[in-house]
Amino acid sequence: MVVSSTPGLSYSSFHTYLECPLRWKYLYIDRLPETPRGYFSFGRVVHTVLEELLRPLVVPGPRRAGATDSQRTLDEWQPKHRPTAGTSGMSRDEMLALYDREWTGEGYTSPEEEARYRNLGRDLLQKFYDQLERDRPQPVAVEEHLEARWDGIPIHGYIDRIDRVPEGGLEIVDYKTSRELSAADALDSDQLSLYQVLVENNYTEPVGGLTLYHLRSLTPHRVPPRDRTALASLYDRLGTASDGIRAQAFEPTPGRQCSRCDFRAICPEFRAVPPADEGRLKELVDRFDRLRSEEQRIGTELRDTASALHHAAEELGIHRLPGSRSVAVRRRDETWQYSLDGLRPELERLGLANRVANGRPDEVRRLVRDPSIDPELRRKVAGTGARRVTWYWDLEQPDRDR
């Protein structure tokens, strides 16, 4: 399949490409399925429940003209749940019932593991509900899909929550169900950086903060918005992914990530040789191994012999040494190097520095041969030169008529 244009890059897709371009191809072009994993199923269910729990609190914020808007407005929103208790319009029992309906056992390695995760989810959701009762956020959007073009690169992402903060502006909130999380994770998060760009391109209010919200401990790790330098670094890496995808550069990049990859069996780095070809390819590999060892031995011997010839030619003052079948002819490769640092101030004063800006020998020689330049300066420039001579050997057939 040919990639005719650069697809929109999300955090996960661009991160996948930088980690292994071939895995990106398997996922986003070939559409090969990955093995379900319990922690992914767990995260999706918890996110779904939180989305429904917080939707009644959404008061949409002003958007930029032409910005895509997959979030329904307040007038269009019809709540699924009748407000019976709590600040969100959903009671605790309704929330837990929704959790049970959404639960899936996909990807868990055992019933015991599934039970542990299911109990963990019920526990953290109830604690979140209690926290929501005490401290109600002011979301302008939940689970919103935003798109933008960032200096020519199409990007998109699903943002868990965008809050309006009392001091003004918007705060981006991304939920995490991982075991551990810290403020350092928030500072280093490319995901939050990309979300900042998406929000800035879709909302008129400025981004005032970024938060990774650790659901297990109900801890919001808040950090300031990224500065231009940090965003430029992210843009460069997005550009690398975008350029590689457009060029169809899908070579595998082996690394630690390979141990958890679902595509090892079809990856060229790990794919097994078909049994019918094992014997033939084994012979080729063994032959290559022998020849490579011989190449290394011959290369060392060749360099030693050339050095011995050089010393003999120097000692005898001879450049042509006859052998039984050929004549070894000593050749010279000559290069010049110039050190103009001491003359730079004078060259700049005379407006000549740009003529030898790179200090290449051809530039310097042109300046030295220019009759319009003061001869004394040309002699100074020429005097900074040093000749380097490299000797090598050619083989010629002997002249039988001599």
Residue 226 lies in a domain: no
pLDDT given for residue 401 in this prediction: 54
My answer on whether 285 and 394 are in the same domain is: no
pLDDT given for residue 70 in this prediction: 46
Q: Return the structure tokens found at 110.
A: 């055992």
Residue 294 lies in a domain: yes
My answer on whether 136 and 157 are in the same domain is: yes
Q: Which residues pair with 20 in a beta bridge?
A: none
Q: Considering the entire predicted model, what is its pTM?
A: 0.69
pLDDT given for residue 217 in this prediction: 94
pLDDT given for residue 177 in this prediction: 93
pLDDT in tens, 366-391: 998 999 999 999 999 999 989 888 88
CB 148 within 8 A of CB 203: no
In angstroms, rounded to a whole number, what is the distance separating the alpha carbons of residues 130 and 218?
10
CB 198 within 8 A of CB 153: no
Number of domains in the chain: 3
Residue 249 lies in a domain: no
Question: Of the residues 124, 147, 168, which one is the last residue of a structural domain?
Answer: 168
- Name residue, tokens 């400025």: 206
- Name residue, tokens 């926290």: 131
pLDDT in tens, 9-38: 999 999 999 999 999 999 999 999 999 999
Angle between helices 11-19 and 190-202 (to 10 degrees): 140
My answer on whether 156 and 41 are in the same domain is: yes
Residue 259 lies in a domain: no
CB 88 within 8 A of CB 132: yes
Backbone phi and psi for residue 323, each to the nearest 5 degrees, phi listed first: -120, -170
What domain range is 56 assigned to?
35-168
| Stretches in the chain below the pLDDT threshold 50 | 1-2, 4, 69-86
pLDDT more than 70, % of the chain: 92
Q: Return the structure tokens found at 86.
A: 């709590």
My answer on whether 133 and 91 are in the same domain is: yes
What's the mean pLDDT when you consider all of the chain?
A: 89
